[in-house]
Structure 1
Amino acid sequence: MTEDRAALTGLLARTFLFRDVPEEAAEAVLSDSRAIRQQAEKGEVIYDPSHFRRCLGVVLEGTVQVNKGTLIMSVLRQGDLFGAAALFHQRPDYATTLTARSRCSLLLLPQELIEEWMERWPQVGRNYVTYLSQRIWFLSGKIDALTAGTAGRKLAQYLLAHEEDGGVKLDCSVTGLAGRLGVSRASLYRALDELRDQGAISHRGRTIHILDQKILEHL
C-alpha cells in the first residue's frame, strides 16, 4: 500500500473535493488525527445499510464495488470519493453496499472535518455541492439505462454482481436466468454469444467464465 506522504498529498489534492483548493488543505487532511486510515481485504464489506460511518471516504488504492441490492451502481478506483450519502442527515441506514474488489487502502473523513474545511476553504463546499449535483445526473442515467435495459446490459450486471473467482456458476438453466432478468430466452442466448464474441466471457454448461471484466463494466 502507498505510504509515501508526498504521494498521498498529491493524490488527495487531485480528488474532486480539493480541486482548486490550496495544497495546504490536502496536507491538513493527513495531519489531522481525526482522519481515519482503513485497510480492506478483497471481498470485505466497507459500508452496508446497517454498518457505516458518517464519513466521506477516499479510495487511496484498490477498487470498490457499489451495489444497490444486486444492481452494480459503480466501481470506484484510486482517488474516487464515497460515503456522501452518510453525511448531513440523521437517517439510521446507508443507501448502498460497498465491497472491496481487491485489497484496498481507504481514508475516512468525518463530517465534522468536512464542515471545518468548508468554512476554512469555501471552495471545498462548492466542490462538494458540484459533486452531489453530478451524482444526481449519474443516478438519473442509471435509471434511464435500467428502464431501457437490453439483454446484454442486464446479463453484464448479473455476471458482475455474482462473480466469484473469475466466473459465475448458475444455479438455474439459461431459461430460468432469462426469467430472472426479464428477457426472452432467445435474447439471452444472443447476449451470451455477443459477449463471447467480444472476448468478455466463455460459456460452458452452467459455468460462465469472465475473461474481460472491463467490457462488462462498460455495458
Structure 2
Amino acid sequence: MLFREGDKMRYCPLVEQGELQAFRHTYKGDDKVFEQFVRGEWVALAAVFMEHGSFPMNIRALSAGQAILIPRETLHQFCLQRPTLALQLLGNLSQKLYSTINQIDWLTSSSAGERLADYLLRLHRSQQDTQPNAQVRLPLNRGQLGIRAETLSRMMTEWLRQGYITCRASYITLCNLDYLRALAAQAQRPL
C-alpha cells in the first residue's frame, strides 16, 4: 500500500512506469476499485486542490514501476505562477469528471455482456506491452463489473463455446476482437 485513505497528501504522484490503483474498502471487507493509473497519469490530482489535503482513497501498486512525487505545495505555486499549467490541470480534471459521468451512465444502462466485453478490451489495451497477442491477465478482484458471479460464469461459458475467448488459469485470450468491440460499443456514448 503506497497511500491510505486519509493520509496527508504531501506529494502528488505522476506515474512514469507501471500501474497504480485507487480503491476503498467496503463495509463488507471487499475492495471497491475506482480507478487505475498508468504512465503519464496523475494520481488523485483533484485531492491536491481540496481543502482537506488528504488522499481520498487507498493507492496501491499493481506492478513494479516508478512515479515522480511532486510536492503538493509546489503544484499550488506552479498553478499560481503559470496559468497555462493551471488550465492544463483543470482540463485534465474536467476530462476525468466527464469520463466518470460517462462510466456511471454506461454501468447503469449497459448489459452484463457489454460490460464484460468492455472490461476485457480495456484490460487488453492496458496490458498490450506485457501480454502477447490478444491475451489478458485477469486481476484478482473482478468485482468492478457489477455482474453476479453466476451471470459471469454463464457468459464466460457461452463465449468459450462460441469461440470468442479461450481461458487458461488467470489468462484469457480474446479470439474475436471484432465481436467484443461491437458488443462493447452498443451502449457507449460518443464524445
TM-score, with structure 2 as normaliser? 0.60
Is the counterpart of residue 211 in structure 1 residue 172 in structure 2?
Answer: yes
Which one-letter code corresponds to 1:112 in the other structure? E
Is the counterpart of residue 60 in structure 1 residue 21 in structure 2?
Answer: no
* Residues 182 and 61 (structure 1), Cα distance of their counterparts in 2 relative to 1, 3 Å cut: closer
Is the counterpart of residue 75 in structure 1 residue 39 in structure 2?
Answer: no
* Residues 97 and 199 (structure 1), Cα distance of their counterparts in 2 relative to 1, 3 Å cut: farther
SS in 2 for 1:109: strand
Q: What is the deviation of 1:146?
A: 2.1
Q: What is the deviation of 1:116?
A: 1.7
Which one-letter code corresponds to 2:23 in the other structure? N
Structure 1 unaligned spans of 5+: 1-44, 161-165, 171-176, 203-207
Q: CA RMSD in A?
A: 3.7
Aligned residues: 151
Structure 2 unaligned spans of 5+: 26-30, 124-136, 185-191
User: What is the 5 A alignment of 1:121-200?
Assistant: 121-152=82-113, 153=115, 183=148, 185=150, 187-193=151-157, 196=160, 197-199=163-165
My pick for the range that moved more, 87-96 or 139-148, is 87-96
* Residues 212 and 184 (structure 1), Cα distance of their counterparts in 2 relative to 1, 3 Å cut: closer
Q: Percent identity?
A: 19
TM-superposition CA deviations, 1:129-159 (whole Å, max 9, x none): 11111111011012112212432426959xx
Which one-letter code corresponds to 1:56 in the other structure? C
* Residues 74 and 83 (structure 1), Cα distance of their counterparts in 2 relative to 1, 3 Å cut: closer
Q: Give the structure with higher Rg (CA).
A: 1
User: What is the 5 A alignment of 1:9-158?
Assistant: 45-51=1-7, 53-69=9-25, 70-91=31-52, 93-152=54-113, 153=115
Q: What is the deviation of 1:167?
A: 5.7
- For 1:134 and 1:140, the matched residues in 2 are separated by 10
TM-superposition CA deviations, 1:50-106 (whole Å, max 9, x none): 335243221111112233554433332211111213222233753333221111111
SS in 1 for 2:170: strand
TM-score, with structure 1 as normaliser? 0.54
1:54·1:86 contact (CA, 8 Å) conserved in 2?
no
